[in-house]
Amino acid sequence: MLTIEATDLARRFGDAWALDGLTMEAEQGEVVALLGPNGAGKTTTVRLLNGVLTPERGRATVLGMDPRRDGAEVRRRTGVLTEAGGLDDRLTLTENLVSHARIRGIPPAEARRRAGVLLERFGMSSLASRTARGLSTGERKRVSLARALLHQPEVLFLDEPTSGLDPAATRDVLNLIGGLAEEQGATVVLCTHFLAEAARLCRRVAILEAGRLLAFGPPVGLAAGMWSGLPVELDMGGTADAGRIAQLRAVRGVTMAEPSASGARVVVEDREVIPVVLGVAMPVFSVVPRPPGLEEVYFALTGRPAADTAAVDLRAVSAS
Amino acid sequence: MSPSGRHDWNAVCAVVAKDFTAIRRSKAVVLPMLFVPVLLLVVLPFGIGLVARAAHPGDLHSILSKLPGGVARPILRYPPRQQLVILVDGYLLAPLFLIVPLMVASVLAADAFAGEKERRTLEGLLHLPIEERDLFYAKVLGAWLPAVVISWVGFAVFCVVANGVAWPVVHRVFVPTALWIVMIVWLAPAVAALGMGVMVRVSARARTAQEANQLGGAVILPLIFATVAQSTGLLLVSLPIALGVGATVWAIAFALLARGASRFTRDRLAATL
């Protein structure tokens, strides 16, 4: 069942389009990533889908409602973690949670009970009666996330939920997001700079740049549409020299060959070509299929050179 | 306010309660809110009243009798020894009283509107299921109610101080008069609403509470001077005129607030984040 559907959604501020023609969808229980550097239009998308901003073009439905017309009802059933977190430093952690719960119409006693349970779950109960001033970035994120979950939302918009978190906290938050989608059937829209966490959690991704949608779909599907052939990694016990690479390129059915740390990276038209390749490249210790991942798809779409790291921070990319 | 036109008072009260709690914990907001009323409504009436009580008015009677339109007539009714202390604590300090609701409302409004942007808490509020109109009412009430309460409590204290300091020469309670009551019950809340109206407009453009206070000061200060200039005279005019002046201030305040409310939309607010 489709929970979120956006068609040609667009919004501009002044003369600049913050979002220009976003078409995407998300099913119940699915985690969808909005990927892109700062200024890509991720936060604008969340604001449009939650009825905070009005689109200038296009339409959207969330939980079957039009956020422009039924904004309050949409927001009643969604939860949002904003990029800044939005905790009031003058309120205690419990007060920060309870005040939002009260605005949502949850009775005071129930609001306090839920706040206690969630702060406990996020390991913040020992600080519950302390004001938010002085909390670390990670602590603020956890409290803000707890606040977004208070009313058991059917749709969660998470804007950079792991930025500023240490690896352990990042792992916990990603596990939690996965659990919310899988076990509770919540639909999660994850705005992130981090390709690795999107690749881990999301079946489909929307890649945005400067307000434009570059692609939407599963990374494997996007890759299939961008590249033909089967990429394989040849382990040759060391980087292949130029002569060996030239030999590989000369094989009929090899469309690409380049040196890698362990040997060579080769793209063949089909599996039948692999024995021929092995004959040319001997000795080969292993042949591992290496389909392009989200990282390759992202950098190919944006035309930027890929970094050679497992998790790429797109803020660094956009700043360079 | 829901599409059916009904207000969600639970949500309004929740926002007001949140703002009250936050304000109570903010020294930058609480200290000016306490310091100015204490100075204007306790220290000044006490100190000046003591001096006036001890002073020999000399030719005060001849000066007062030369004022146009018989505006000094209420004071000239009193024995000469009482005239100066009554003039000072019963009339001349009145303008200072109206500064309190204006100043408190302005400081709180800046905190409630521009302060939310500065603390980066506004976006979280915009993502909640509270209607724009209800959020606006909550923000206005959260600043206006404390301003009125502080003004009224301050006035009660002022009455005790003024009557206490003048008692040795006046021997009776001389404030509040009927016109003072008009000023407290009718005009002070109107002045607080006027301050709110100005600050709501200013805060829409400011990014921080301090910036809002600075921008608002350019508008509020002339208002304070106008208030100071006019309110003593207000205590010397007739009751209907005082009521009329109050009604005019209310009308201006409502017009400003209505304009502010019409521009207080999620879309407009989110566009400034």
Q: Which residues of B touch A50 (CB under 8 A)?
A: 127
Mean pLDDT, rounded, of chain A? 87
Residue corresponding to tokens 């100071």: B228
The strand pair at A2-13 and A16-27 is best described as: antiparallel
Residue among A114, A143, A113, A138 nearest A127 (CA) = A143
Q: Is residue B62's pLDDT more than 80?
A: no
| Mean predicted confidence (pLDDT) in B74-89 | 77
**Complex confidence, ipTM:** 0.83
- pLDDT the model gives residue B93: 76
Does A61 or A251 have the greater pLDDT score?
A61
Whether residue A131 lies within 8 A of chain B, CB to CB, comes out as yes
The pLDDT tens digits for B88-134 are: 787 777 767 888 898 899 889 888 888 888 889 999 999 999 999 99
- pLDDT the model gives residue A167: 86
Q: Is residue A309's pLDDT more than 70?
A: no
State how far Cα A314 lies from the chain centre. Answer: 11
DSSP-derived secondary structure letter, A304? P
| B71, B142 Cβ separation under 8 angstroms | no
The pLDDT tens digits for A273-289 are: 888 888 876 788 888 88
The strand pair at A155-159 and A78-81 is best described as: parallel
Q: Alpha helices, DSSP H only, in B87-187? A: 94-118, 122-126, 132-170, 178-182
CA distance B193 to chain A (A): 25
Q: Is residue A2's pLDDT more than 60?
A: yes
- pLDDT the model gives residue A224: 74
Type of residue found at B62: S
Q: Is residue A80's pLDDT more than 60?
A: yes
DSSP notation for A67-108 = TTTSHHHHHHHEEEE-TT----TTSBHHHHHHHHHHHTT--H
Whether residue B126 lies within 8 A of chain A, CB to CB, comes out as yes
Q: Is residue A307's pLDDT more than 60?
A: no
What tokens does A93 get?
């952690």
DSSP-derived secondary structure letter, A131? B
Q: For residue A144, how many other CB atoms are within 10 A of its CB?
A: 26
Residue corresponding to tokens 């303008």: B95
Whether residue A47 lies within 8 A of chain B, CB to CB, comes out as yes
Q: Is residue B229's pLDDT more than 70?
A: no
The pLDDT tens digits for A198-240 are: 888 898 999 999 999 998 998 877 777 777 788 888 898 889 8
- pLDDT the model gives residue B168: 87
Q: Residue A260, SS3?
A: coil
Q: Which of A11, A17, A90 to mutate to test the interface with B (most CBs of B within 10 A)?
A: A90
- pLDDT the model gives residue B232: 58
Residue among B158, B167, B179 nearest B82 (CA) = B167
Q: Residue A241, SS3?
A: coil
CA distance A304 to chain B (A): 29
Given pLDDT bands bounded at 50, 70 and 90, which one contains residue A310?
very low
The answer to whether the CB atoms of B14 and A131 lie below 8 A apart is no
Q: State the Cα–Cα distance between residues B200 and B203, nearest whole angstrom.
A: 5
Rounded to two decimals, the pTM is 0.83
Whether residue A52 lies within 8 A of chain B, CB to CB, comes out as yes
Burial of A147 (0-12, 13-18, 19+ CB in 10 A): buried
* Closest in B119, B128, B267 to A100, CB measured: B128
| A62, A3 Cβ separation under 8 angstroms | yes
Fold of A2-87+135-223: Rossmann fold (3.40.50)
Does B79 or B193 have the greater pLDDT score?
B193
Given pLDDT bands bounded at 50, 70 and 90, which one contains residue B234?
low
* Residue A120 neighbours by CB under 8 Å, 6+ apart: none
Q: Residue A159, SS3?
A: strand
The answer to whether the CB atoms of B119 and A75 lie below 8 A apart is no
Cβ under 8 Å to B: A residues 96-115 = 99-100, 102-105
- pLDDT the model gives residue B61: 66
Given pLDDT bands bounded at 50, 70 and 90, which one contains residue A311?
very low
Q: State the Cα–Cα distance between residues A60 and A80, nearest whole angstrom.
A: 17
Does A200 or B237 have the greater pLDDT score?
A200
What tokens does A274 get?
């692999």
Every domain of chain A and the residues it spans: 2-87+135-223, 228-289
Q: Which residues of A touch B129 (CB under 8 A)?
A: 72-73, 75-76, 103-105
- pLDDT the model gives residue B259: 93
| Mean predicted confidence (pLDDT) in B225-230 | 63
Q: Which residues of A touch B22 (CB under 8 A)?
A: 88, 90-91
The pLDDT tens digits for A84-115 are: 888 999 999 999 999 999 999 999 999 999 99
Nearest chain B residue to A95, by CA: B18
- pLDDT the model gives residue B72: 66
Given pLDDT bands bounded at 50, 70 and 90, which one contains residue A313?
very low
For chain B, how big is the Rg over CA atoms in Å?
21
Given pLDDT bands bounded at 50, 70 and 90, which one contains residue B36?
confident
| Mean predicted confidence (pLDDT) in A114-123 | 93
Given pLDDT bands bounded at 50, 70 and 90, which one contains residue B231?
low
- pLDDT the model gives residue B71: 59
The pLDDT tens digits for B164-189 are: 988 888 888 888 888 788 888 998 99
Q: Which residues of A touch B11 (CB under 8 A)?
A: 102-105
Q: Residue A269, SS3?
A: coil
The answer to whether the CB atoms of A104 and B128 lie below 8 A apart is yes
Q: Is residue A315's pLDDT more than 50?
A: no
* C-alpha count within 13 angstroms, C-beta hemisphere, residue A257: 25
Nearest chain A residue to B27, by CA: A90
Nearest chain B residue to A79, by CA: B127
- pLDDT the model gives residue A200: 86
Q: Is residue A314's pLDDT more than 60?
A: no
Q: Residue A190, SS3?
A: strand
The answer to whether the CB atoms of A103 and B15 lie below 8 A apart is yes
Q: Which residues of B touch A85 (CB under 8 A)?
A: 120
CA distance B200 to chain A (A): 20
Type of residue found at A254: V
Partnered with residue A27 across adjacent β-strands are A2
Q: State the Cα–Cα distance between residues B138 and B145, nearest whole angstrom.
A: 10
